[in-house]
Amino acid sequence: MKIAVVGSINMDLVSHVHHLPKAGETIASHDFMLIPGGKGANQAVAAARLGAHVSMIGMVGEDENGTIMLAGMTEAQVHVEGIKREGTTGMAFINVSDDGENNIVLVPGANAQVSIEHIDENLSIIEQSDVVLLQLEIPLHVVEYVVKKAAALGKLVILNPAPARALSQELLQHVHTLTPNETELAILSGLPVTTPEEAGEAARKLLASGPRRIIVTLGEKGALLVTEEKTVHVPACRVEPVDTTAAGDSFTAAFAVGMAKGMSDVEAAGFASKVAAIVVTRRGAQPSLPTLAEVEAHSF
């Protein structure tokens, strides 16, 4: 069970605030933390903690943050041979409110320097993997290149389309599983997504662009798994959220692990829902990610 994660690596600068600031508003935080993050790194660490053999392809800076990021991933047993060091490590400025909501501003840093040449230098990692997992925090033309390469090699390609942006049919036709949230699905489909019913309609429209399945994460409403053959609502586990950072990342990673283990897509989505439920009860991105033993021991 080998997973290759191609994507971003960031240091998260997290401010805990009573409420998210409105436009033009200045507020004070009541807590501040530096926490390893980035969608790619989050998903790599999440999958590794769930028992997968994970290799990461990406870039960090030649700075202290880069050293910290590499040490954290290595400790989580992520293979980091595909990570190059250059420039400044990417950062994410995250505000987390007391009710668990967040907003995020990204500073791409070294993530913006991930190139096709870097992918080609590490193509053996993709060739030796069963699943290739990507996001959209590295240059889009690199994502397109990896998706096409991985699909041509017969790999299961899972794309978490975040941060949200429009994607071409040329890219989407090579994606086996797409895991947008409601906002991302609305942008990709051009349809409103405010209810599970609208999510189903938008996902079915998007299927025509090529993905074999779409899993829409709906927060406290769970997730919706949509294929040409079925539409299945996966309920959320009932928990009291503390911090929703990395909930989507953990869901996507856990789904990838489930599929790599041979679960059906419905079983994998249910497993992913349990993992994400644990994550939102903990603070921070990577510190919140559970081990497989923790998931198996947890009762909802």
Report, as residue numbers or ranges, the catalytic residues. 249
Tell whether residue 288 is among the known ligand binding residues.
yes
39 known ligand binder: yes
The answer on whether 120 is annotated among ligand-binding residues is no
> Is 248 annotated to bind ligand?
yes
Task: Return the exposure string of 176-196: e unless at least 16 CB atoms fall within 10 Å of the residue's CB, then b.
Answer: bbbbbbbebbbbbbebebeeb
Distance CA 81, CA 102 (A): 32
209 annotated among ligand-binding-site residues:
no
Would the annotation count 243 as a binding residue? yes
Q: Is 38 known as a binding-site position? A: yes
> What is each CA distance from 200 to 89, 203, 229, 250, in whole angstroms?
38, 5, 13, 22
Q: Report yes or no: 216 and 185 within 8 Å, Cβ to Cβ.
A: yes
Tell whether residue 277 is among the known ligand binding residues.
Answer: no
Residue type (1 letter), 224: L
Please state, in angstroms and rounded to a whole number, the distance separating the CA atoms of residues 299 and 282. 16
Q: Is 134 annotated in some ligand binding site? A: no
Residue 280 and residue 245: Cα distance in Å, rounded?
7
| Token pair in block for residue 225 | 């798994």
Q: Are strands 90-97 and 10-17 parallel, antiparallel or unpaired?
A: parallel
219 annotated to bind ligand: yes
Q: Is 67 annotated as a binding residue?
A: no
Residue 180, preceding peptide bond in cis (omega within 30° of 0): no
**Which segments are annotated as binding site?**
10-12, 38-42, 137, 181, 217-222, 243, 245, 248-249, 279, 282, 284, 288
**Which segments are annotated as binding site for K(+)?**
243, 245, 279, 282, 284, 288
**Which segments are annotated as binding site for ATP?**
181, 217-222, 248-249
